[in-house]
């Protein structure tokens, strides 16, 4: 495959193949395993946008900790199968490069594909095609398009499980979810309402917001920036920070890393799971923009 200038296919840590991007618009890295974007840095921005754990594993078949895990065809634990890996199999399967191109302005378009095969059919008896497409530039647009290639309806969950870098998670606020219903995973999954205008993090926070199509903004005074996530085809959002105890419990997450990250995830899960008729397709997208905090 001929790659545009500024894009290389190389072997990364753990022998995992990755596409690396260095253009006038941005730098980025995406592992073919999981179509996993681990780095995206728009030109002119001094601080990393996506967060990566310094303890992440890079091994075939092991989930990478940070960046944008692609969660599919289930979110969180698999219902009725405690042995199944959380967040589905897409993030640990090899995706194939369908196309890579660039624009005169240095933006890079990638399309990667994952199709049902014997390995996935052994887990979920469903024929599907998934295309993960990205436009990497001064903004980041990601889209997950799933097609039901089977003869029966296909119910699935999905998420772009995006990890963002922050100066100190205790100082940030998350705007756009006021009034939404959420499942509080730190409180037995109880249904609650986001009564505060913005979400602040002062303890382990793990909330699945339902029936919300609104964009979400992360205001980070420490890095003097606002990160906005606009979405389409998504009715759920997640806000997650593991805090102290959960960080210690995860071997691929440094004990002292929790203050420097927050997940704002673009999701369809639980009440908002997608049900596709045979032959139908569905797209979820997220567009990430980074701007300086005014004033
Ligand atoms: O999206 C939040 C969450 O479901 C948390 O409950 C936590 O489990 C996190 O995902 C990380 O999941 P992972 O399987 O990547 O360790």
Q: In this predicted structure, what is the pLDDT of residue 1? A: 84
Please check whether residue 18 is in contact with residue 37, taking contact to mean a CB–CB distance below 8 angstroms: no
DSSP string, 213-243: ---EEEEETTTTEEEEEEEES--EEEEEE-H
Q: In this predicted structure, what is the pLDDT of residue 295? A: 65
| 158 Cβ below 6 A of ligand 1 | no
| 63 Cβ below 6 A of ligand 1 | yes
Please check whether residue 220 is in contact with residue 226, taking contact to mean a CB–CB distance below 8 angstroms: yes
| 264 Cβ below 6 A of ligand 1 | no
| 185 Cβ below 6 A of ligand 1 | yes
Ligand 1, residue 265: give the atom nearest the CA.
Answer: 1
Q: Which residues are catalytic?
A: 161, 265
Name the closest-CA residue to atom 3, ligand 1. Answer: 76
Is 205 in a helix, a strand, or coil? strand
Rounded to the nearest whole angstrom, what is the distance from the C-alpha of residue 255 to the centroid of ligand 1?
A: 16
Rounded to the nearest whole angstrom, what is the distance from the C-alpha of residue 263 to the centroid of ligand 1?
A: 9
Probe residue for ligand 1, chosen from 77, 161, 246 as the CB with the greatest number of ligand atoms within 8 Å = 161
Name the closest-CA residue to atom 6, ligand 1. Answer: 206
| 265 Cβ below 6 A of ligand 1 | yes
d(CA 145, CA 84) in angstroms, rounded, equals 23
The predicted model scores a pTM of 0.98
**Structure confidence by residue, pLDDT tens digits, 6-33:** 999 999 999 999 999 999 999 999 999 9
Q: In this predicted structure, what is the pLDDT of residue 145? A: 98
Paired tokens of 117 = 């095969």
Residue ranges in the chain whose pLDDT is less than 70:
295
Residues 6+ apart with CB under 8 A from 124: 73, 89, 116
Rounded to the nearest whole angstrom, what is the distance from the C-alpha of residue 210 to the centroid of ligand 1?
A: 17
Name the closest-CA residue to atom 15, ligand 1. Answer: 65
Ligand 1, residue 161: give the atom nearest the CA.
Answer: 1
**Structure confidence by residue, pLDDT tens digits, 173-188:** 999 999 999 999 999 9
Q: In this predicted structure, what is the pLDDT of residue 294? A: 79
Between the CA of residue 228 and those of 11, 164, 216, 264, what are the distances in Å? 32, 11, 6, 10
Unique residue bearing structure tokens 């894009």? 7
């Amino acid at each position: 495959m001929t790659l545009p200038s500024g894009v290389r296919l190389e072997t990364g840590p753990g022998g995992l193949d990755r596409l690396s991007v260095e253009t006038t618009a941005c730098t980025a890295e995406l592992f073919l395993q999981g179509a996993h974007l681990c780095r995206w840095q728009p030109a002119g921005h001094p601080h990393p946008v996506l967060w990566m754990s310094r303890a992440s594993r890079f091994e075939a078949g092991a989930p990478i900790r940070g960046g944008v895990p692609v969660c599919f065809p289930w979110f969180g634990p698999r219902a009725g199968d405690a042995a199944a890996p959380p967040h589905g199999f897409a993030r640990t399967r090899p995706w194939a490069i369908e196309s890579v191109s660039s624009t005169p302005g240095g933006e890079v378009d990638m399309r990667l594909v994952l199709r049902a095969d014997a390995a996935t059919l052994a887990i979920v008896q469903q024929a599907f095609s998934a295309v993960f497409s990205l436009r990497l530039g001064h903004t980041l647009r990601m889209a997950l398009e799933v097609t039901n290639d089977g003869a029966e309806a296909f119910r699935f969950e999905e998420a772009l499980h995006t990890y963002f870098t922050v100066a100190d998670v205790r100082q940030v606020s998350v705007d756009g979810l006021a009034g939404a219903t959420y499942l509080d995973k730190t409180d037995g999954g109880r249904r609650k309402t986001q009564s505060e205008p913005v979400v602040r993090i002062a303890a382990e926070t793990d909330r699945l917001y339902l029936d919300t199509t609104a964009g979400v903004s992360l205001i980070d005074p420490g890095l003097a920036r606002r990160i906005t996530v606009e979405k389409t085809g998504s009715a759920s959002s997640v806000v997650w920070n593991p805090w102290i105890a959960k960080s210690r419990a995860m071997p691929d997450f440094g004990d002292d890393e929790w203050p420097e990250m927050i997940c704002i995830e673009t999701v369809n899960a639980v009440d908002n799971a997608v049900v596709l008729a045979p032959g139908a397709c569905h797209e979820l997208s997220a567009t990430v923009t980074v701007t300086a905090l005014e004033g």
